[in-house]
Amino acid sequence: MNDRGRKKGFGGGPAGAGRKVTEVEIGLLTTLSVPARGSVGKTGSWRTFVPVIDPGRCTKCLLCWVYCPEACVSRDLIIDLDYCKGCGICAEECPRDAIAMVKEEKR
Amino acid sequence: MRIKDFPEEELLLPGNAACQGCPSSMALRLALKALGRNTLLAVIASCTSVLQSPFPATAFDLPVLNMAFATGGATGSGLAAAVERLMKKGVYRERPTVLVWAGDGGTYDIGIQSLSGAAERNADFIYVCYNNEAYSNTGTQRSGATPYAAWTTNTVKGKREWRKDVAQIMVAHGIPYVATASLAYPTDLFEKFTRAKGIRGTRYIEILAPCPPGWKFPSGHTVKVARLAVQTGLWLLYEHREGITTYTAGTQRIIHGKARRLPVEEYLKAQGRFRHLFYPERDEERIAEIQRRVDRVFETLEFTHRLKQHIMDIEMLPPR
Ligand SMILES: Cc1ncc(C[n+]2csc(CCOP(=O)(O)OP(=O)(O)O)c2C)c(N)n1
Ligand code: SF4
Ligand code: SF4
Ligand SMILES: [Mg+2]
């Protein structure tokens, strides 16, 4: 994948566990997975409906950010369409009805 | 705590193997926001084992230990002991939080003896049961947490038994912190995790986790169904510390008379797993039975609240 696990130890590790993990040790830990976005690929392809935010209605309450189970709405309310699964929670929970779920043309 | 103040850092990364609208990933994401990066996570066999994604990548950006189904309590105890030892050796600058994450099958059924033992020893970890009220990962079989009348693949006409209440069993253990939470009340959930983090000993938090494929509702309704569970009184939000139970958020509002409790029907109708209570014809008897149970619980809760208010009013009177 990438060399992050090797550089930082156990995927970043708890604060203070900044002990250097040597390559030999890593070599033994063959089942150690490396943290990555898109760990099963671009899950955006699962989508049928795509969320579209209307900035005119949005009050930046951040409810869509907090409820997105996929962590793919950013704090400045940009949706990462590579990974958005189109579940529709953000649209359902928006108190201002500022998010529409729009049928997506297949790419 | 306001939503704006929740940390921005994501420890659960997008593009993972969870279903659309998955409550388990939503719950874990929020819990990890509250607990922070200095957490050692043990995942007990469940949907959460799978949604991490397969080797060599993982969606969890913190140390994770995947453990067998019955081992939640023992895993937490072992990790807590290891942390204690490593703290003494000076390996950690700051004590990491040990978090055991298990489903309802892994908690109510197969894991309860291990959890009970750990709680009795007051081992130092947070145990979370994310309760999707069935064995979701293996295709929705009934568990001890499945509610009365709910469909699962092995209760096709609806479960005949009532669910048990493990949060209350944990209260009976006398551990320092027990809380229930809901995905529809994220600040309440966040604050409960923050409080739990500040306490040592066994802490138990149970989160109701409405599962779209298992409960048969559209994936966009996860939060809505979670909210209805609280609004109808079928899921109680509280925390229990030092012998005192405090009801919180939506549940508190109902008890204090600030919100109307909705009929259970509104919750049941929102889910396909209760469809047989309404189609082909209404099953008045079972719907009424569920309503009666909730009514009885709230009669007691509201009575106790009024009694307390009354006593406080009397104590406030000037002495005669
Ligand atoms: C001893 C044992 N029996 C059965 C299984 C298969 N199994 C894996 S996950 C799972 C369901 C877990 O249900 P629950 O704890 O409610 O978590 P959920 O999948 O609902 O998130 C089962 C039966 C197992 N891993 N180990
Ligand atoms: S939930 Fe709606 S109003 Fe709130 S930040 Fe998101 S889009 Fe804006
Ligand atoms: S549709 Fe679902 S996955 Fe996509 S941004 Fe909204 S909440 Fe997140
Ligand atoms: Mg379950």
What ligand is nearest to the CA atom of residue A97? 2
Angle at B219 between CA B213 and CA B221, to 5 degrees: 115
Quick one: A49 and A66 in the same domain? Answer: yes
Are A5 and A53 contained in the same domain? Answer: no
Contact A83 B15 (CB under 8 A): yes
Q: Has residue A27 got a pLDDT over 70?
A: no
Q: pLDDT tens-digit profile of B165-216?
A: 999 999 999 999 999 999 999 999 999 999 999 999 999 999 999 999 999 9
* CB neighbourhood size of B144 (10 A): 17
Look at residue B320 in the predicted model and tell me its pLDDT: 72
* pLDDT class of A5 with cuts at 50, 70, 90: very low
A26 lies in the same domain as A49: no
Q: Looking at residue B318, what is its pLDDT?
A: 85
Percentage helix, strand, coil for chain B under 3-state DSSP, each rounded to 5: 45, 15, 40
Ligand that comes closest to the CA of residue A61: 2
pTM for this entry: 0.92
pLDDT recorded at residue A29: 53
Domain check: are A27 and A62 in the same one? Answer: no
- Measuring from each residue's beta carbon to the nearest atom of ligand 3, which residues come in under 6 Å? A 51, 68, 70, 72-73, 79, 84-90
Q: Is A61 found in the same domain as A22? A: no
**With 0-12 CB in 10 A as exposed, 13-18 as middle and 19+ as buried, what is B282?**
exposed
A31 and B223: CB-CB below 8 Å? no
Mean pLDDT across chain A: 81
Mean pLDDT to the nearest integer, A7-18: 41
Beta-carbon separation of A88 and B91 below 8 A? no
Q: Clarify whether residues A25 and A57 are in a common domain.
A: no
Q: Are strands A34-35 and B238-241 parallel, antiparallel or unpaired?
A: unpaired
Cα separation, B29 vs B24, whole angstroms: 8
Q: Which of residues 15-74 of A touch B (CB under 8 A)?
A: 15-17, 19, 31, 33-43, 46, 61-63, 65-72
**What is the average per-residue pLDDT within B288-307?**
98
Taking 90 as the threshold, does the pLDDT of residue B274 lie above it?
A: yes
**pLDDT of residue A2 exceeding 50:** no
Based on the fold, state whether residues A31 and A50 are members of the same structural domain: no
Q: Does pLDDT of A31 surpass 90?
A: no
What mean pLDDT comes out for the span B272-296? 98
Considering the domain architecture, whether residues A76 and A96 belong to the same structural domain is answered as: yes
Asked whether residue B21 carries a pLDDT value surpassing 80, the answer given is yes
Instruction: Please tell me the residue having the least CA distance from ligand 1 atom 13.
Output: B135
Based on the domain organization, do A28 and A71 belong to the same domain?
no
Does the structure show a pLDDT above 60 at A28?
no
Residues of A in contact with B54 (CB under 8 A): 39-40
On chain A, the residues whose CB falls within 8 A of the CB of B40 are 14
Structural domain boundaries, residue A23: 1-35
Q: What is the pLDDT of residue A30?
A: 58
For residue B258, count other CB atoms closer than 10 A to its CB: 9
Angle at B41 between CA B188 and CA B21, to 5 degrees: 55
Mean pLDDT, residues B122-143 taken together: 98
Per the structure, how many domains does chain B have? 1
Task: Please count the residue pairs, one from chain A and one from chain B, whose beta carbons lie less than 8 angstroms apart.
Answer: 154
Same domain, A47 and A31: no
Pairwise pLDDT comparison (B297 vs A31), residue with the higher score = B297
For residues A60 and A31, membership in a common domain is answered with no
A92 close to ligand 2 (CB < 6 Angstrom): no
What does the pLDDT average to over B123-145?
98
Report the number of distinct structural domains present in chain A: 2
Chain B closest-CA separation from residue A65 CA (Å): 9
Residue A49 and residue A83 share a domain: yes
CATH of the domain at A54: 3.30.70.20
Q: How far is CA A37 from CA A89, B54, B61, B80, B135, in A?
A: 21, 13, 10, 30, 27
State which residues have CB under 5 angstroms from ligand 4, the bound ion: B 103-104, 132, 136
Of the residues B11, B48, B53, the best mutation for testing chain A's interface (the one with the most A CB atoms within 10 Å of its CB) is B53
Residue B320 covered by a domain:
no
ipTM: 0.95
Lowest mean pLDDT among A19-28, A91-100, B73-82, B272-281: A19-28
* pLDDT per position as a tens digit, A40-54: 999 999 999 999 999
The SS3 call for residue B88 is helix
- Domain of B273, in residue numbers: 3-315
Contact between chains at B29 and A71 (C-beta distance less than 8 A):
yes
Helix (DSSP H) and strand (DSSP E) numbers for chain B: 12, 9
Give me ligand 1 centre to Cα B127, in Å.
17
Q: Is residue A24's pLDDT more than 70?
A: no
What's the average model confidence in pLDDT over A27-46?
A: 86
Q: What is the pLDDT of residue A3?
A: 41
Distance CA A71, CA A65 (A): 7
Q: What is the CATH number of the domain that holds B210?
A: 3.40.50.970
Please report whether residue B61 resides in a domain.
Answer: yes
